[in-house]
Amino acid sequence: MAYTTIDNPGLYFNTKIYTGTGSSNALTGIGFQPDWVWNKSRSATGDQALTDSVRGVTKEINSSDGSAEETVAQGLTAFGSDGFTVGSDGSYNANSTTYAAWCWKAGTTASGSTSGSGTAKTFSRSTSTTSGFSIVKYVGNATANHQFPHGLGVKPDMVWIKNLTDGTTNWQGYNSDLTATKSFKLNSTDAPATTNSVTNDVEPTATVFNLGSAGDANGNNQNHIAYLFASIQGYSKIGTYTGNGSTDGTFVYTGFKPAWLLTKRTDSSSSGNWNISDNKRDPSNVITQILFADDTQSEITASNVYDYCSNGFKVRETGAGTNASGSVYMYMAFADSPFVNSNKVPTNAR
């Protein structure tokens, strides 16, 4: 039986679904003051709008493209003790448009200098070692073996990096199952590529993430943001699974009932979208409401895609994007409730 140190995952992750008003809108009920909010319109085409407390309010980047950070005065305008406030910008709050906002808590701040090869540069961060999540803003130096400290205290399992200054760059990512020899683009359907220019082919450690010389992740004197995640028993799980091409699809054990799930095929040159589902848009099985992290399109209603189970998730469709026979998919999931809490009480199934 799996136990957890986080009996209430809602203190660190939550999804808010809401309808836009077209004017300043204070959204509450999150359960904590978020450090990272990822907004996406459901009923209309629109940017994936990512705002975090390290860069500050109104500072937006998009997972669906490689554009540089921009200031959106009517975007996310405040982080509150139980939520956040949005202005009138269409990516956040157009009148009568429906939205999903995925919110994470980090919390412990730090700043200092990077290490490794080349000229040391500055960094600042917000980190939760309890929930295995860190937001790090750093300045690149274009030198392989440049390192920034992430603060997690354990090796991260998933890392997403974006150059904030250069709008011609792509997101770059690391997944521990794929190893540091592979990098992937969050803003693209491309399969992970073999390269040493992003991670320098060096696995991250419990203290630092190692960078190659690529401008996407280490542009000289340019600002970058990194989101780092470590699997935490009973709260989060990052890994890979193999599809079987059947409606009685692969079951993936996570040790908790999922609240949010991201999946991506890894083994095809045109391997499909980054699929996002959650328990607020689909409060009961089967999961059918999907948004794409790499695309601006509105929410789609798919055929049966997943079941969220008390201890993991099960794939329920045969499509190539989630369950091609023999294909490998990476995933990242966050908990609604642990399978068994610290008092040895099991969770209810959906």
- Whether residue 344 lies inside any domain: the answer is no
pLDDT exceeds cutoff 90 at 243 = yes
Q: Which domain holds residue 311?
A: 239-338
> Do both 175 and 274 map to the same domain?
no
Co-location of 29 and 60 in the same domain: yes
Taking all residues of the chain, what is their mean pLDDT, rounded to a whole number?
A: 96
Helices (H), the chain: 90-93, 215-218, 320-323
Distances (CA, A) of 220 to 118, 147, 180, 231, 292: 10, 14, 21, 31, 31
Q: Are strands 146-149 and 208-211 parallel, antiparallel or unpaired?
A: antiparallel
Model's pTM, two decimal places?
0.97
C-beta of residue 32 within 8 angstroms of C-beta of residue 12: yes
> Residue 347 pLDDT > 90, yes or no?
no
Residue 3 maps to a domain: no
Q: pLDDT by residue (tens digit) across 181-223? A: 999 999 999 999 998 889 999 999 999 999 999 999 999 999 9
Domain assignment present for residue 289? The answer is yes
| Percent of residues, the chain, with pLDDT higher than 70 | 99
Q: Is residue 234 part of a domain?
A: no
Judgement on whether residues 91 and 121 belong to the same structural domain of the protein: no
* Structure confidence at residue 271 (pLDDT): 76
Q: What is the model's pLDDT at position 53?
A: 98
Say which amino acid occupies 97: T
Looking at the fold, whether 39 and 138 belong to one and the same domain comes out as no
Q: Indicate whether 270 pLDDT > 90.
A: no
Residue-level pLDDT at 348: 84
Q: What is the pLDDT of residue 148?
A: 98
For the cut 70, the answer to whether the pLDDT of residue 2 exceeds it is no
Residues 97-142 pLDDT 10s = 999 999 999 999 999 999 999 999 999 999 999 999 999 999 999 9
> What was the pLDDT predicted at 310?
95
Residue whose C-alpha is closest to residue 120's, from 101, 86, 95, 145: 145
Percent of the residues in the chain that have a pLDDT greater than 90, as a whole number = 92
Using left for φ > 0, alpha for ψ between -120 and 50, and beta otherwise, residue 118 falls in: left
* 213 and 252 in a common domain: no
| Reported confidence tier of residue 269, pLDDT bands at 50, 70, 90 | low
HSE of 304, CA atoms in CB hemisphere, 13 A: 15
Same domain, 317 and 302: yes
Cα dihedral 9, 27, 103, 40 in deg (nearest 10): 140
- Residue 203 token pair: 């696995």
Q: Which of 104, 122, 137 is the last residue of a domain?
A: 104
Q: Are 212 and 126 contained in the same domain?
A: yes
Distance (Å, whole) CA 333 – CA 254:
8
126 and 23 together in one domain: no
pLDDT score, position 71: 98
For residue range 322-345, list pLDDT tens digits in order.
999 999 999 999 999 999 888 888
Q: How many structural domains comprise the chain?
A: 3
Quick check: 1 pLDDT over 60?
A: no
Mean pLDDT of the 292-312 span: 96
**Is residue 1 a part of any domain in this protein?**
no
Residue 350 belongs to a domain:
no
Residue 82 in domain? yes
Q: pLDDT confidence of 36, banded at 50, 70, 90?
A: very high
The residues, ordered by sequence, that sit 6+ positions from 56 with a Cβ below 8 Å of its Cβ are none
Q: Is residue 348 part of a domain?
A: no
- Checking if the pLDDT of 86 tops 70, the result is yes
